Amino acid sequence: MALNIEFEPKLWKLSGSITYDEIPSLIEKTKNYDWSDSVQIDFSQVNHLDTSALSLIFELKRNAKKHNYSVTINTPPKNLLKLAKLYGVEDLI
């Protein structure tokens, strides 16, 4: 299943799979986001991910920081937390 994103005020809902192949299109979709506030990203509907999900999170956090806002991860899947711990970046999730 492809990765989808639904934009709501202050909330982005991800669904589908987060894989290396899906990241560029998602980054492109978020480039024109009007950073008028911080954003929470809901991962509750993500059914598969690989290590590229960490790269996605870091890129989104960098973009938010450019605009003096933040990105918070909601309902991270257990396997995302395990990957973050494995790479020593769990504090960034």
**Residue 93: what pLDDT?**
87
Average pLDDT, rounded, for the chain: 92
Residue ranges per structural domain of the chain? 4-92
Superfamily of 4-92 according to CATH = STAS domain (3.30.750.24)
Burial of 31 (0-12, 13-18, 19+ CB in 10 A): exposed
**Residue 31: what pLDDT?**
83
What's the predicted TM-score (pTM) here?
A: 0.87
